Amino acid sequence: MISHERIPNNVDLSGNKRLQRALEHWQPRYIDWWHEMGPQGFQHYHQVYLRTAVSVDPDGWCHYDYVRMPEYRWGIFLAPPVADRTIGFGDFFGQPVWHEVPGEFRNPLRRLIVLQGDTEPASVEQQRTLGQSCPSLYDLRNLFQVNVEEGRHLWAMVYLLHSYFGRDGRDEAEEMLERSSGNEDKPRMLEAFNEPIENWLDFFMFAMFTDRDGKSQLMSLAESSLDPLSRTTRFMLTEEAHHLFVGESGVARILQRTCELMRASGAGLSGDVRRIGGIDLPMIQRHLNFWFSASIDLHGSEISTNAATYFANGLKGRAREETFDDHRALHATYQVPVMDDDRLVTRSVPLRNAMNEVLRDWYTRDAEAGVERWNRILERQGLSDRLRVPSRRFNRKIGIYAGLHFDPDGRPLSAEAWAARRHEWLPTPDDKAYLKSVMARPVYEVGRFANWIAPPQKGINQKPVDFEYVRVEE
Ligand SMILES: [Fe+2]
Ligand SMILES: [Fe+2]
């Protein structure tokens, strides 16, 4: 029986019999999926100190306690309605927002929700073995917090499918649990969500760059004319912030530790840090390059009629639409660098067709600001090396640069030059083997940290760093 106790919610679940029945049917399948595809080896006997969303109240929306993960109370929350909200962009600018799905936009809206929903369980699947190589209980807990929240994000999208899309929506909700990351027959829908995440450097980079794509997509959906979609994604953004924190602070702590190890080695700041088990900066840069490029692919093609239609119909807007002056974007243009033979030339594109690129602008600035914060650590440690975000043209699989080759500065390269140099810029089998070797043994002792990462400045929910964030049931 579904109750507020089982499924915390602010959508009057107990007063909506149809929705209740649909969720009662779906929930056991979800739990089966979690057992099978969720964190491996931590399902039965481990109690994890997790936060659970219990309301949308700004100063008390979460509750912290120990919980066995399969018993986590996945809930359904919408941000509070904005009174008299009107459509913020596109052809229907200024009209009242929609509380039901207009028939003519049913298919594209369902597609947007399914695409977003599919990424959520995918990342849980990608990360399912990481607990076996964790650098500390603190990090293990953060991984699981991200995992259960991605599970909740799936619930959020399934709630929309069940509530607004009838039979098709229920079918889509089932299929979310049938596809799986990296599966040959039924893979996840987007490429970055089929990439394996086998070590913690990949995990932190994923949380920094791919969860940040989650943030930009959610921000653009939060602008949607479909009010329930807007309110659902607005609340998801509050959780997404923690995922970005996990990624950014994880890499920051690696950088900190790398500098400490170089100093301790006696070889100084130019020493070979791998000799003493640290993670060197070139390897960190290669992982940054990979995950940034995979994540900007998720924003879609630079020139896109789909993006234009989404914008025109008010389905998906720009991040922070209110900061733009022209909400119809009917006459403006956007300059896109395109390849013409072997030269880059600038082409002027109608702005609506370049909306993916506008979102990518927002994303890139947000990512660059994070990398700048990493660089301040290097600076404080007296290093002259700096990390940087590669050009958006680098290593693309989707869009107008796919199939072409560019260096991290965005300069065109021949296929031969790319093949000769790509190992300098992207993670190598040697990097992966090295990371596997330093992470071979998980650290499960309270308050201890693996050699390759510094402890955090402070713990979670004002608990000390040496708190028992994950404990084994007696
Ligand atoms: Fe998510
Ligand atoms: Fe996330």
In the reported structure, the alpha carbon of residue 124 is separated from the centroid of ligand 1 by a whole-number distance in angstroms of 10
| Residue 149 within a domain | yes
In the reported structure, the alpha carbon of residue 356 is separated from the centroid of ligand 1 by a whole-number distance in angstroms of 20
In the reported structure, the alpha carbon of residue 371 is separated from the centroid of ligand 2 by a whole-number distance in angstroms of 18
| Residue 117 within a domain | yes
In the reported structure, the alpha carbon of residue 120 is separated from the centroid of ligand 1 by a whole-number distance in angstroms of 5
% of the chain exceeding 70 in pLDDT? 97
Q: Which ligand is nearest to the CA of 151?
A: 1
Residue 49 has pLDDT above 70, yes or no: yes
Q: Which ligand is nearest to the CA of 236?
A: 1
Residue 56 has pLDDT above 90, yes or no: no
In the reported structure, the alpha carbon of residue 329 is separated from the centroid of ligand 2 by a whole-number distance in angstroms of 30
Q: Which ligand is nearest to the CA of 241?
A: 2
Of the listed ranges 74-78, 332-336, 452-456, 458-462, the least confidently predicted one is 74-78
Q: What average pLDDT does the segment 68-95 reach?
A: 95
Per the structure, the complete domain to which residue 304 belongs is given by 13-472
Residue 109, Cβ neighbours under 10 Å: how many?
A: 23
Q: Which ligand is nearest to the CA of 156?
A: 1
Are the C-beta atoms of 289 and 394 separated by less than 8 Å?
yes
Q: What average pLDDT does the segment 435-464 reach?
A: 97
Q: Which ligand is nearest to the CA of 116?
A: 1
Q: Which ligand is nearest to the CA of 150?
A: 1
In the reported structure, the alpha carbon of residue 53 is separated from the centroid of ligand 2 by a whole-number distance in angstroms of 15
| Residue 1 within a domain | no
Question: pLDDT confidence of 169, banded at 50, 70, 90?
Answer: very high
Give every CB contact of residue 77 below 8 A, 6+ residues apart in sequence: 8, 9, 10, 11, 53, 55, 56, 61, 156, 232, 235
| Residue 4 within a domain | no
| Residue 188 within a domain | yes
| Residue 126 within a domain | yes
Q: What is the pLDDT of residue 7?
A: 82
Number of independent structural domains in the chain: 1
Q: CA–CA separation, 152 vs 158, rounded Å?
A: 10
In the reported structure, the alpha carbon of residue 116 is separated from the centroid of ligand 2 by a whole-number distance in angstroms of 11
| Residue 2 within a domain | no
Residue 225 has pLDDT above 60, yes or no: yes
Q: Which ligand is nearest to the CA of 146?
A: 2
In the reported structure, the alpha carbon of residue 418 is separated from the centroid of ligand 2 by a whole-number distance in angstroms of 32
In the reported structure, the alpha carbon of residue 412 is separated from the centroid of ligand 2 by a whole-number distance in angstroms of 33
Are the C-beta atoms of 121 and 154 separated by less than 8 Å?
yes
In the reported structure, the alpha carbon of residue 175 is separated from the centroid of ligand 1 by a whole-number distance in angstroms of 18
Q: Which ligand is nearest to the CA of 152?
A: 1
Q: What average pLDDT does the segment 36-40 reach?
A: 96
Q: What is the pLDDT of residue 340?
A: 92
| Residue 366 within a domain | yes
In the reported structure, the alpha carbon of residue 275 is separated from the centroid of ligand 1 by a whole-number distance in angstroms of 37
Instruction: Round the average pLDDT of the chain to a whole number and report it.
Output: 94
Q: Beta strands 46-53 and 470-472: pairing type?
A: antiparallel
In the reported structure, the alpha carbon of residue 206 is separated from the centroid of ligand 2 by a whole-number distance in angstroms of 9
Which residues neighbour ligand 1 (ion) by CB within 5 Å?
120, 150, 153, 214
In the reported structure, the alpha carbon of residue 201 is separated from the centroid of ligand 2 by a whole-number distance in angstroms of 16
Q: What average pLDDT does the segment 147-169 reach?
A: 96
CATH number at residue 20: 1.10.620.20
In the reported structure, the alpha carbon of residue 405 is separated from the centroid of ligand 1 by a whole-number distance in angstroms of 31
Q: Which ligand is nearest to the CA of 157?
A: 1
